[in-house]
Structure 1
Amino acid sequence: MLRVERLPVRSLPDYDGLLAVSPAAMMTHSPEWLDMLGEVTGAEAQLIAAWDSDGLVGVLPYVISPDQGEGRVINSLPFFGSHGGPVCRPGLDGSDVLEALAGEFDQVARESGCRSATFILTPVETRLEDLRRILRPDAEDWRLGQIAPLPGDPERILPDLVEGKRRNNIRNAQRKGVTVRERCDDEALDWLRAMHERGIGGRGGLTKPEAFFAWAARSARSGGMCSFLFAEKDDCIAAGMLVARFGDCWEYLVPAMDAAVQDSNALSLLVYEGMRRAAGAGAARWNFGGTWDTQEGVHRFKRQFGAEDRPYHYLIRIYDPALAGMTRARLSEAFPFFYSLPFRMCAS
């Protein structure tokens, strides 16, 4: 018989131990990331935990959106497709544990009057069909994850993973005197945020908010999961990126480059050096994150570093069919950083 409870993230001391052994766990399940979600979304992350007679067997993190006049939705998890879903102890991830966690998630959604509920699964999820059967989603969506396996020897990355054209870009940057170093000073972090806003915002994309960068800076300066790497040429920053470490995986979170020095191939060298550092620290995977099916150039760039395609799925329960009567713009305004339903279902 399983016991199921809801509780705050930091009140479950066994959670870190479960994450360390669960094959489905990723950086986005970690307490540090869940704390960030609370800061950015204004809604505290919570856990649904299940125990059997021997101890903790499964956990499901979730966040309910603040009500801004259009009701609420629940995600596991929100914020730019953060992976959620259940994490379970190996060998104890059978249907009974999944059903207990998913059933409580559904109960939370209904009690809170949520208009929809979404699981965003990980690219390494192996229980998709079980979860489909248990959740009975009203709709599904998907994105393409890209993860590169890292060799034990960092020196094997360039010859074994990186494709020829990208390899030439890296060597070209080295010949031009581009160097890479870790920085966490205000000048460098301000540069990264400004270039991120110019690059993503300039193309009409959704940029990461100030609160996210403030959290990442605190994490890096306090020895947390985050760190910032910068490629420099002639004493000027040419490219930068935010990465995060969790278990045997490093996450490629925010890249940016200065278009004025793009011909230096600084970003290619920066990614390569980041992967070398990850492999040198014992990481087995470099997660490039999600890619839309329309982003052919981005997909090709990641693939040229040895990234393998790993689709991941969104499973959505719709409690209020009227949600589909809202436009894409209205949904985005009503539920910032939260997934509500596939935009293809929205009113035009």
Structure 2
Amino acid sequence: MSAEDCQDVVVRALEMPEDAAAYARFLELSAAATVYHSAPYRDLVLRSTQGRARYGLAWRGTEVIGALPLMVMDGPLGPVANSLPFFGSHGDLLTGDAGAAAALQQWFRNQMEQDDMAAATIISNPFDAAPQANWQDSTLVDERIGQWTPLTDESGEPLDFHSAIDGSARRNLVKAQAERVSVEVDNTALDFLAVCHRQNMAEIGGRTKPAAFFSALPSVMNAGRDYRIYLAKRNGSPIAALLVFLFKHFVEYIMPVTAPGNREYQPTAALIFRAMQESQSEGRRIWNWGGTWTSQTGVYRFKRKWGATEKRYAYHTYVRDSRVLSQSAEALTAGYPYFFVVPFSGLTKVGVVA
């Protein structure tokens, strides 16, 4: 690409209200833009973590033609950047313009240099059919499996997703119906969602989302427009819930929870099916299950049985301070909560934060 391709492109950080409006318009027109790129999700992550937002916008005249959402967190080894942090959120550069891509990649490298970052990671977007960015000079690459269930065909016609799910998923759905599990939308059920989430994560030793996530959600996102909580009941009492995010043609499977002692009634199957039905009737095209580690065979099979298709995508990490690689996984997790620092497989030895 020649210098002329990007000489009329200007990159500046998203700061002014009028820039935010232009960014929102850009996302609306970008087929690859997901909820993770949106301003409400940015604000949710900022309220849930100790990160700082630094979103680069590429302009040609008065039009935004590209964007690179970035968040930075200070820590014991210096700043770390993610595009984007918080439980595998997709980030990466959004543009169809080669000049904007080159300018935004240079902006990203300038941010690493100016902040003297210890490490920075770009999480690629599996829904970008023609990515313009090239991150092949990254130090380390980690792989994930993106899984999603199509709700419509390419022309927008509804698909029979019920036929696409396998026999075990259909049996679970029949079991929930036989147990008289009912499902309703209740966007006020945040306390139930939070309590069950903590209980479920404690059972498997998983990492919980912070309390600030649940308190911030109704403040920065609009119930019904940006998110929805499906509540499963049996004998009139809540037994499970499902939080989904809504953005354009995407539905994001964010948080399923089940109250202890109720898994045998298969409420999650009833929740998923109801949410899929409503999403399809609203014209949404993609039910996104999110990323799966290659080692998570059980999670992978669960998503597959709900008719999920898949695509590999990458975490591209730039290591700028070699001390990062001599830390333990526990030290990095504690020092940079909810941020990705490096693939743990890339650590050279067990250590402590210097």
1:279 and 1:219 map into 2 onto residues whose CA distance is: 25
Q: Return the offset for 1:229.
A: 0.5
- Correspondent of 2:97 among 79, 85, 93: 93
Residue in 1 that maps onto 2:12: 5
Residue in 1 that maps onto 2:279: 278
Is the CA contact 2:187–2:224 (under 8 Å) kept in the aligned structure 1? no
User: Does residue 112 of structure 1 match 2:115?
Assistant: yes
Residue in 2 that maps onto 1:131: 134
2:262 and 2:58 map into 1 onto residues whose CA distance is: 52
Residue in 2 that maps onto 1:157: 161
Q: Deviations over 1:219-267 (max 9, x none)?
A: 5665540111111111122211110100101001011112412121111
Provide closer, same or farther for how the CA distance between residues 9 and 79 of structure 1 changes in structure 2, counting only shifts above 3 A.
farther
Matched AA of 2:21: P
TM-score (norm 1): 0.91
Secondary structure of the structure 2 residue equivalent to 1:260: coil
Secondary structure of the structure 2 residue equivalent to 1:336: coil
Q: Return the offset for 1:154.
A: 6.6
- Correspondent of 2:55 among 38, 43, 47: 47
Matched AA of 1:267: T
- Correspondent of 2:25 among 17, 23, 33: 17
Matched AA of 2:85: P
2:181 and 2:300 map into 1 onto residues whose CA distance is: 24
1:213 and 1:281 map into 2 onto residues whose CA distance is: 26
Provide closer, same or farther for how the CA distance between residues 219 and 164 of structure 1 changes in structure 2, counting only shifts above 3 A.
farther
Between stretches 35-44 and 322-331, larger displacement belongs to: 35-44
Matched AA of 1:156: D
Q: Return the offset for 1:27.
A: 0.8
Q: Return the offset for 1:17.
A: 1.2
Q: Return the offset for 1:20.
A: 1.3
Residue in 1 that maps onto 2:262: 261
1:298-317 matched pairs, under 5 angstroms: 298-317=299-318
- Correspondent of 2:78 among 71, 76, 100: 71
Residue in 1 that maps onto 2:345: 344
1:132-147 matched pairs, under 5 angstroms: 132-133=135-136, 136-147=137-148
Secondary structure of the structure 2 residue equivalent to 1:297: helix
1:129 and 1:56 map into 2 onto residues whose CA distance is: 16
1:19 and 1:337 map into 2 onto residues whose CA distance is: 25
Is the CA contact 1:46–1:61 (under 8 Å) kept in the aligned structure 2? yes
1:50 and 1:129 map into 2 onto residues whose CA distance is: 13
Q: Return the offset for 1:99.
A: 1.5
Q: Return the offset for 1:153.
A: 7.1
1:264 and 1:220 map into 2 onto residues whose CA distance is: 31
Runs of at least 5 residues in structure 2 that lack an aligned partner in the other structure? 1-7
Between stretches 7-16 and 117-126, larger displacement belongs to: 7-16
User: Does residue 32 of structure 1 match 2:40?
Assistant: yes
Q: Return the offset for 1:293.
A: 2.0
Residue in 2 that maps onto 1:318: 319
Q: Return the offset for 1:109.
A: 1.6
Is the CA contact 1:122–1:312 (under 8 Å) kept in the aligned structure 2? yes
User: Does residue 211 of structure 1 match 2:215?
Assistant: no
Is the CA contact 1:117–1:340 (under 8 Å) kept in the aligned structure 2? yes
Between stretches 315-324 and 41-50, larger displacement belongs to: 41-50
Between stretches 190-199 and 315-324, larger displacement belongs to: 190-199
Aligned pair count reads: 338
Q: Deviations over 1:12-55 (max 9, x none)?
A: 32111111121321110000001111111233312111112462
Residue in 2 that maps onto 1:56: 64
2:128 and 2:142 map into 1 onto residues whose CA distance is: 15
1:49 and 1:130 map into 2 onto residues whose CA distance is: 14
Q: Return the offset for 1:127.
A: 4.6
Secondary structure of the structure 1 residue equivalent to 2:31: coil
Is the CA contact 1:291–1:298 (under 8 Å) kept in the aligned structure 2? yes
TM-score (norm 2): 0.90
1:220 and 1:130 map into 2 onto residues whose CA distance is: 30
Say what the alpha-carbon RMSD is for the aligned residues: 2.0
1:29 and 1:318 map into 2 onto residues whose CA distance is: 24
Residue in 1 that maps onto 2:240: 239
Matched AA of 1:315: H
